[in-house]
Amino acid sequence: MKPYIGITCDYDSGEQRYSVYPGNPALILRASYVEAIEQAGGIPVLLPVSAQLKIIDAYVDMIQGVLIPGSSSDLDPSCYGELPLPRLGPGNPLRADFELTITRKAFAKGRAILGICGGMQVLNVAFGGTLYQDIASQLPEAIKHQQAAPGWYATHAVHIESGSRLQEICGGTSYRVNSFHHQAVKHVAEGFLVTARAEDGIIEGIERPGNGFVLGVQWHPERMYQRDQGARRLFEAFVQAAKLQPVRT
C-alpha cells in the first residue's frame, strides 16, 4: 500500500500587505511538494496548522511520514536561545510552533521525517540546534545562497559525506543544488550528523543515524525532481522509508 505522507501547510494570517486573501487567514502549500510525493509513490495529506495537541497527535497517528517544507518566514531565535539580530526576517509563530511540535511528536513515534530548506532548520532547532539568523551579515565570505536563476536550476555544489544516507541516495559525494535561503544551521542538534556542506562551509544536509529516516536538506528538491535524478531519489527514499511505518486504521 502507498504510505500517507503529511505535508505541513504555511499559515497566512491575512494581516500582511502581501497576504493572499487580505483580512482572511489562509493555508498555503506549493503544489510541487504534493506532486513530488505523488510521483515518488506516496499519498500526500495536507496538514493545516493547529495549536491543539490532540489534533497534532491525530495527524501523527494517521500518517507514516511527515514533510516539513520550506518557508518564507524565520524561526524566532528565542527558540534556540538567542536574541534577534538586525537582519532577521519576519516570523510566523503559529506555523513555527506547530512544525516544531509535530516534528518532535513524529520523531517520538518513529515516523519518517524529511525537512526541506526551512524545514531542515525546523528539524535542527526542534532537537536543540541553532541557526545563523542571516548568512550575509554573519558570514560575509559566504557564496550567494539566494539564487536569481530558475528554481529547477542548480547554482552551486555541495560535498556529501561518504557513508551517509544522503550519499547513498544521491549516488556520490558531489552534487549540485539550487539555493533559496538566507539562514542556515549553525550548531547541529545533538544526535544529528552534518552530511552535506556547500563550498563555503555552510551546512546543507543533516541526518539522524539509525534505522529510521530523519533527514534534512537545505536546497529545494521539489523544484528539481522533474529534471534531476538525485532529487527524485530523495523523495523515493523518503516514501519508501515511510512504508515501513504502521498506519492507524
Nearest CA-CA partner of 176 in 192, 194, 193, 153: 153
Selected catalytic residue, list 9, 99, 117, 204: 117
Decide if 9 is catalytic: no
Quickly tell me which residue has 528539524 as its cell: 123
- The answer for 229, left when phi > 0, alpha when psi is -120 to 50, beta otherwise, is alpha
Residue 53 domain-assigned (yes or no): yes
**H or E, element range at 217:** strand 214-217
- The stretch 29-35 carries a mean pLDDT of 97
pTM: 0.96
Structural domain for 115, as ranges: 4-243
Residue 236 domain-assigned (yes or no): yes
| pLDDT tens digit sequence for 52-90 | 999 999 999 999 999 999 999 999 999 999 999 999 999
Answer yes or no: are the C-beta atoms of 170 and 221 closer than 8 Å: no
The CATH number linked to 18 is 3.40.50.880
pLDDT at 23 (0 to 100): 86
pLDDT at 247 (0 to 100): 64
pLDDT at 249 (0 to 100): 46
Rounded-to-integer distance, Cα 175 and Cα 192, Å: 21
**Who wins on pLDDT, 244 or 30?**
30
Residue 249 domain-assigned (yes or no): no
pLDDT at 15 (0 to 100): 83
Rounded-to-integer distance, Cα 235 and Cα 90, Å: 29
pLDDT at 245 (0 to 100): 75
Rounded-to-integer distance, Cα 101 and Cα 25, Å: 21
Q: How many CB atoms lie within 10 A of CB 194?
A: 14
Answer yes or no: are the C-beta atoms of 68 and 119 closer than 8 Å: yes
Q: How many CB atoms lie within 10 A of CB 155?
A: 18
Residue 63 domain-assigned (yes or no): yes
Selected catalytic residue, list 145, 156, 181, 220: 220
| pLDDT tens digit sequence for 160-219 | 999 999 999 999 999 999 999 999 999 999 999 999 999 999 999 999 998 899 999 999
Nearest CA-CA partner of 182 in 223, 218, 230: 218
* Number of domains comprising the chain: 1
Rounded-to-integer distance, Cα 178 and Cα 112, Å: 24
| pLDDT tens digit sequence for 101-127 | 999 999 999 999 999 999 999 999 999
Selected catalytic residue, list 99, 204, 207, 222: 222
Residue 248 domain-assigned (yes or no): no
| pLDDT tens digit sequence for 220-249 | 999 999 999 999 999 999 999 999 877 654
Decide if 222 is catalytic: yes
DSSP string of 135-188?
Answer: HHHH-TTS---B--S-TTS--EEEEE-TTSHHHHHHTSSEEEE--B-S-EESSP
Residue 11 domain-assigned (yes or no): yes
pLDDT at 155 (0 to 100): 97
Rounded-to-integer distance, Cα 102 and Cα 99, Å: 5
Average pLDDT, whole number, for the chain?
A: 95
Residue 54 domain-assigned (yes or no): yes
Residue 90 domain-assigned (yes or no): yes
